[in-house]
Structure 1
Amino acid sequence: MKLYSTNNHDLKIDFQSAVFNSMPQDKGLYMPVEIPALEQDFIQHLDRYTLREIAYKVSFALLQDDIPANDLKSIIDDAINFEAPLHPLDEDTYVLELFHGPSLAFKDFGARFMSRVMAYFLKDNEQLLDVLVATSGDTGGAVALGFLGVPNTRVTILYPKGKVSEIQELQLCSNGQNIRAIEIDGTFDDCQHLVKQAFADDELNSKRRLTSANSINIARLIPQTFYYFNAVAQLFRKGKREVVFAVPSGNFGNIAAGLLAYKMGLPVKQFIAATNVNDTVPRFLETGVYETRPSVQTYANAMDVGAPSNWVRIMALFNEQRESVKEMVKSYRYTDEQTVQAIADIYRQFNYVACPHTAIAWLAIQEYQKQQAPADDTFVFLSTAHPCKFPDIFPAEIAAKIDIPEQVNALRQKEKIATAMPVDFDAFKAFLLTAE
């Protein structure tokens, strides 16, 4: 698999280099030079395959000889050891539950696959791999558990002070071993910018072997395609063929993976990018002006991103043609008030508890249905996190219905350990250079 930088199409590197370098020095993002089309027989008979079989087929099509077939199967079997079931709300509307992994968030798919790929490529006695990750909520927990105890790696997680939930924070700050957390007195965008500055700093890169576990890393993006194909496989078994996906969108890695799957042959009619009031992409699709803004804190904190990194990947997939993107991607935004009302409506109508991100995706389906002519569509909205991560958002009646997983009860017995830091790259750089 050869990859290029979105800022330099002449730059070509292999998959292993892209995994460890994460981001080109020109500050673009890596994308496949060629996107393979999956065999039609496989696509038409997705219903015959399990999630792990689909994951192997899709990843092998992309990676080819980068990882031998048997080794790739072993990585898949170890990383994707949980399911992503469809839960029906009614005959034509389904929730794709992506929170059945160890950190209770969809990012387990990317973090577990990436950590095992890195461990596979790491050689004994190589320089320690410093993994940097900025999180607005769920990424950090997934990465922490994905890399916990992985030899020759050290993970540094940056998160915005006061802007993640109690459970999310404990997932970041209670691991020890090779996992460190930094509490930044700023926003997620500040955290993300500090990480990007680190990758562009010559001195840091000469003294530390840096890589990223954010969705800017191509190894995070690939496994997120798996559950789109698997969702369609589950629908095929029900006789459903016309599929619309609604995706809660913050840094736009999740929907970028869906669009990569579409380019590989995923049979899907439409994508809907659902955002909170951090609406950079909806505004761009409406006006043609791409204007980032400082992120605003909301109940759907994993979507509190004012400068979504992965949007450049989506534009690259469509050859920078905004009109082509608009045909395949609709985008709507919602306030906290609308989110809370949606949580109540979903519970009242379907006896289902949805996290705030999930509720926003459901709202987007309602809006899309009002604007489109009636059709035989099946709607799938992604549930990206377990509702237990957001206990303060639910009214008492709904909160009482949430099943609390055992690992959450265990987390509450642990101590928070984090380093407080201002938005100061020099301080962050000094931390990376001096910490052992």
Structure 2
Amino acid sequence: MLYYSTNNKQLKSGLKEAVINGLAADKGLFMPEEIPVLPPSFFEKLPDLTLGEIGFECLKPYFCPEIPEADFKLLTADAFNFDAPVVPVSENIASLELFHGPTLAFKDFGARFLARVMARFTVGYGQDINVLVATSGDTGSAVANGFLGVDGVNVFVLYPKGLVSDVQEKQFTTLGQNITAIEVDGTFDDCQRLVKTAFMDEHLKDKITLTSANSINLARFLPQMVYYFYAYGQAIKQGKQNISVCVPSGNFGNLTAGLIAQKMGLPIKRFIAATNINDIVPKYLASGHYQPAPSIATPANAMDVGDPSNFVRIQELFKHDLTSLQTVISGCSVSNELIFSTINTVFHSYAYILDPHGAVAYHALKTALSKEEYGIFLATAHPAKFPETVEEIISQKVEQPERLKAFLNGEKCVKNSSNVYEELKQVVLSKAL
């Protein structure tokens, strides 16, 4: 399959080129040339398939035969080797728990898959590949841990100083080896701008090979569709129907993956795009006017995005037709106060602990859901990653998984940069050359 640029459909690339480059030559995002519909036989067996088996079936059209099918089956089994259970929370609402991977966040799905694909593509490449990634929280830890120790790949994680939780920070600043954490004096939008500027810097690209592990990379966001199929299969197995899904959204790669799954035949009724007070997309869905804005820091920090990169992919899927988009997606913005009160209410009413991002999704889903629907919200991070917020609200300690404790015992090691591009460039070159 070929992949076209969102800036120019005539500009196309093969899989390996698209994955390694991250962005198209004209700085557009790559999209698959076609989205195949999976056969009825797949949906008949779906409730009994593992995550790895689902990954093989739904991602095969995009990654094979460039990766031989036998190898790809092993790759997906290895990448998705942990569970993602659908857990009932209230009467007609369940949580899809995506935090059972190594870094306790949904980003493990895309990052582990991308790292394994990239490791194949770098064999015999002749020079190191440098992965540049901006994070507002969980992306950094998932990407860093996914690529840790991969030969021929250097990873640079940019994050906004003081705007990620202490736990999140420890997960990517304590690793060393081929991972460099860069603390930027600015916001996540600054970090994302710096990454985009680097990709447009021909002088830098003449010296080193750059790629991205943010959800702008097609091999990062496409594998996220796997858990939508898995969740639907589990819900059907539990006798549920008329299923709608609420997605806590920041850069909108997660929702894009769900919409592609739907176009491949997954019979999800509709999606609710839940944001914190960075409500660019909900406003667009209501008014038809898309107006980026500076990001605002919130307790749901991974969603603090004022100009979501992946929304152009969603517009591509719906041919830039707002009316068509509105038939499948509704938007909801959740205030900081509602994040706090939702964590408190759900814990005391149902003994279920939400992290701030899950609280955004739960509130939006509860607000939007009709009596005829069964709702699933994506729980994208373990509440133990946000102890400063969650424990104060529920007035008790959140149990820390053992793999999280291991990160917390590590020693932080970072490079520092302002939000001026030339300063970042020197940091990257000093480590990459």
Question: How would you bin the TM-score normalised by the shorter chain?
Answer: over 0.9
- Amino acid corresponding to residue 406 of structure 2 in structure 1: A
Distance 2:391 2:198 in 1: 42
Distance change in 2, residues 1:235/1:125 (3 Å): closer
Question: Which residue of structure 2 lines up, in the alignment, with residue 155 of structure 1?
Answer: 155
Residues matched between the structures, number:
432
Distance change in 2, residues 1:72/1:283 (3 Å): same
Distance 2:374 2:397 in 1: 27
- After superposition, the C-alpha distances for 1:234-259 in whole angstroms (9 at most, x for unaligned) are 01111212110001000001111000
Q: Which one of the candidate residues 402, 407, 428 is aligned to 1:406? A: 402
Q: 1:330-349 maps to which residues of 2 (within 5 A)?
A: 330-349=330-349
Q: Is the 8 A contact 1:159 1:184 kept in 2?
A: yes
Distance 1:368 1:163 in 2: 30
SS at match of 1:266: coil
Question: Which residue of structure 1 lines up, in the alignment, with residue 221 of structure 2?
Answer: 221
SS at match of 2:10: strand
- After superposition, the C-alpha distances for 1:78-127 in whole angstroms (9 at most, x for unaligned) are 11110100111134211000000001000000000000000011123620
Question: Which residue of structure 1 lines up, in the alignment, with residue 301 of structure 2?
Answer: 301
Distance change in 2, residues 1:400/1:316 (3 Å): same
Q: Is the 8 A contact 2:98 2:105 kept in 1?
A: yes
- Amino acid corresponding to residue 417 of structure 1 in structure 2: C
Question: Which residue of structure 1 lines up, in the alignment, with residue 328 of structure 2?
Answer: 328
Aligned pair 1:390/2:386, yes or no? Answer: yes
SS at match of 1:210: strand
Q: Is the 8 A contact 1:86 1:95 kept in 2?
A: yes
Q: Which runs of 5+ in 2 are unaligned?
A: none
Distance 1:64 1:322 in 2: 33
Distance 1:8 1:33 in 2: 12
- After superposition, the C-alpha distances for 1:169-197 in whole angstroms (9 at most, x for unaligned) are 11121000000010001110110110011
- Amino acid corresponding to residue 434 of structure 1 in structure 2: S
Q: Is the 8 A contact 1:98 1:106 kept in 2?
A: yes
- Amino acid corresponding to residue 430 of structure 1 in structure 2: Q
Q: More deviation in 45-54 or 333-342? A: 45-54
Q: 1:353-432 maps to which residues of 2 (within 5 A)?
A: 353-369=353-369, 372=370, 374-375=371-372, 377-396=373-392, 398=394, 400-432=396-428
Q: Is the 8 A contact 2:391 2:398 kept in 1?
A: no
Distance 2:269 2:25 in 1: 36
What TM-score comes out, normalization by structure 1 length?
A: 0.97
- Amino acid corresponding to residue 74 of structure 1 in structure 2: L
SS at match of 1:151: coil
TM-superposed CA distance for 1:433, in Å, is: 2.1
Distance 1:148 1:45 in 2: 35
Q: More deviation in 393-402 or 26-35? A: 393-402
- After superposition, the C-alpha distances for 1:275-295 in whole angstroms (9 at most, x for unaligned) are 000011011111111100000
Aligned pair 1:42/2:42, yes or no? Answer: yes
Q: More deviation in 223-232 or 87-96? A: 87-96
Distance 1:47 1:409 in 2: 34
| Percent of matched pairs sharing the same residue | 48
CA RMSD of aligned residues (A): 1.2
Aligned pair 1:268/2:288, yes or no? Answer: no
Q: Is the 8 A contact 1:25 1:200 kept in 2?
A: no
Q: Is the 8 A contact 1:133 1:195 kept in 2?
A: yes
TM-superposed CA distance for 1:396, in Å, is: 4.1
What TM-score comes out, normalization by structure 2 length?
A: 0.98
- Amino acid corresponding to residue 310 of structure 1 in structure 2: N
Q: More deviation in 86-95 or 275-284? A: 86-95
TM-superposed CA distance for 1:434, in Å, is: 2.6
Question: Which residue of structure 2 lines up, in the alignment, with residue 81 of structure 1?
Answer: 81
Q: Which runs of 5+ in 1 are unaligned?
A: none
TM-superposed CA distance for 1:367, in Å, is: 1.3
Distance 1:363 1:351 in 2: 16
Distance 1:125 1:324 in 2: 43
TM-superposed CA distance for 1:55, in Å, is: 0.8
- After superposition, the C-alpha distances for 1:208-246 in whole angstroms (9 at most, x for unaligned) are 010000000000111100000000010111121211000
Write out the 4+ residue segments of structure 1 that deviate beyond 4 Å after TM superposition. none
Distance 1:25 1:116 in 2: 24
Q: Is the 8 A contact 2:52 2:78 kept in 1?
A: no
SS at match of 1:156: strand
Q: Is the 8 A contact 1:36 1:62 kept in 2?
A: no
Aligned pair 1:130/2:130, yes or no? Answer: yes
- Amino acid corresponding to residue 424 of structure 1 in structure 2: V
- Amino acid corresponding to residue 8 of structure 2 in structure 1: N
Distance 2:230 2:266 in 1: 10
Q: Is the 8 A contact 2:53 2:77 kept in 1?
A: no
Q: Is the 8 A contact 1:25 1:199 kept in 2?
A: no
Distance 2:305 2:393 in 1: 30
Distance 1:181 1:155 in 2: 8
SS at match of 1:225: helix
TM-superposed CA distance for 1:401, in Å, is: 4.8
Q: Is the 8 A contact 1:46 1:236 kept in 2?
A: no
